[in-house]
């Protein structure tokens, strides 16, 4: 009974609108996506793909969080004109922003947790593997937004995809920029900046730019 009451409290109009806007009726009726009433649905274009067995509430937007933020005053934003692919269970915490531009593709692996107040901006492709945890105040973006040209007039800062492997933990206030590639099992320490390829799996990376600090690590949630 308690679980039923808890589910009904989470069942907002935005949940119904989101599911029936993006999904075929037979999928939408199962309400695989729960959307908090505090989420701002800024742009709802493009499409959603759920590449996993459907379960009610398997994807939650705007609910999870951390106690240092006020989840009633901190709004999540959904700004999507491209494609978002969910590979399974996904929790996107309050205050987090998801922005996928037209032609962009965001791939969220199963058991992805974004705790709170983080932003993912995708112009080309951002791929996040399975069992990843993103802490708070993280910014992931595969574009600079503004164009930079050299003396010959050629663009030198085109958007580039970002690839994050399986079971990666990204600490608070990290900056993950275009062209970043983080191998599976790695930890990116708080405040690090990643703008290239991190070549080793199971490594602890610190600093700006992020460099290997420890090898052959294992982390626990």
For residue 13, tell me if it sits in a domain.
yes
Given a contact cutoff of 8 angstroms between Cβ atoms, the answer to whether 128 and 147 are in contact is no
CB atoms near residue 215 (< 10 Å): 10
For residue 120, tell me if it sits in a domain.
yes
For residue 20, tell me if it sits in a domain.
yes
Report residue 29 CA to chain centroid gap. Answer: 25
pLDDT value, residue 7: 55
For residue 16, tell me if it sits in a domain.
yes
Given a contact cutoff of 8 angstroms between Cβ atoms, the answer to whether 185 and 205 are in contact is no
For residue 210, tell me if it sits in a domain.
yes
pLDDT value, residue 168: 98
Given a contact cutoff of 8 angstroms between Cβ atoms, the answer to whether 120 and 101 are in contact is no
**Could you say which DSSP state residue 149 is in?**
B
pLDDT value, residue 2: 52
For residue 14, tell me if it sits in a domain.
yes
**Could you say which DSSP state residue 130 is in?**
T
Predicted structure pTM score: 0.91
CB atoms near residue 38 (< 10 Å): 18
Domain containing residue 25: 2-214
pLDDT in tens, the chain (221 residues): 555 455 556 667 999 999 999 999 999 999 999 999 999 999 999 999 999 999 999 999 998 667 778 777 788 999 999 999 999 999 999 999 999 999 999 999 999 999 999 999 999 999 999 999 999 999 999 999 988 999 998 988 899 999 999 999 999 999 999 999 999 999 999 999 999 999 899 999 999 999 999 999 999 87
pLDDT value, residue 12: 79
Q: What is the CATH number of the domain that holds 13?
A: 2.160.10.10
pLDDT value, residue 72: 75
pLDDT value, residue 3: 53
- DSSP code per residue over 183-219: -TT-EE-TT-EE-SEE--SS-EEETTTTEEEESS---
Calculate ∠ Cα 95-160-136, nearest 5°.
Answer: 20
Q: How many domains does the chain have?
A: 1
Cα separation, 192 vs 72, whole angstroms:
29
For residue 219, tell me if it sits in a domain.
no
pLDDT value, residue 73: 79
For residue 221, tell me if it sits in a domain.
no
């Amino acid at each position: 009974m308690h679980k039923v009451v808890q589910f009904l409290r989470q069942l907002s109009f935005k949940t119904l609108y989101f599911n029936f806007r993006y999904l075929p009726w037979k999928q939408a009726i199962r309400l695989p996506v729960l959307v908090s009433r505090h989420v701002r649905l800024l742009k709802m274009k493009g499409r959603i793909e759920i590449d996993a067995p459907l379960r009610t509430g398997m994807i939650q937007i705007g609910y999870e969080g951390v106690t240092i933020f006020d989840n009633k005053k901190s709004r999540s934003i959904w700004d999507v004109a491209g494609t978002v692919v969910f590979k399974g269970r996904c929790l996107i915490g309050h205050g987090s922003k998801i922005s996928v531009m037209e032609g962009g593709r965001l791939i969220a692996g199963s058991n992805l947790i974004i705790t709170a107040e983080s932003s993912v901006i995708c112009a080309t492709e951002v791929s996040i593997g399975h069992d990843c945890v993103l802490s708070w105040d993280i910014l992931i973006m595969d574009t600079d937004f503004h164009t930079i040209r050299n003396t010959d007039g050629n663009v030198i800062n085109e958007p580039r995809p970002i690839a994050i492997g399986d079971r990666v933990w990204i600490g608070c206030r990290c900056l993950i920029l275009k062209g970043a590639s983080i191998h599976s099992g790695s930890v990116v320490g708080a405040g690090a900046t990643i703008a290239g390829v991190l070549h080793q799996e199971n490594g602890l990376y610190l600093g700006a730019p992020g460099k290997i600090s420890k090898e052959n690590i294992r982390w626990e949630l």
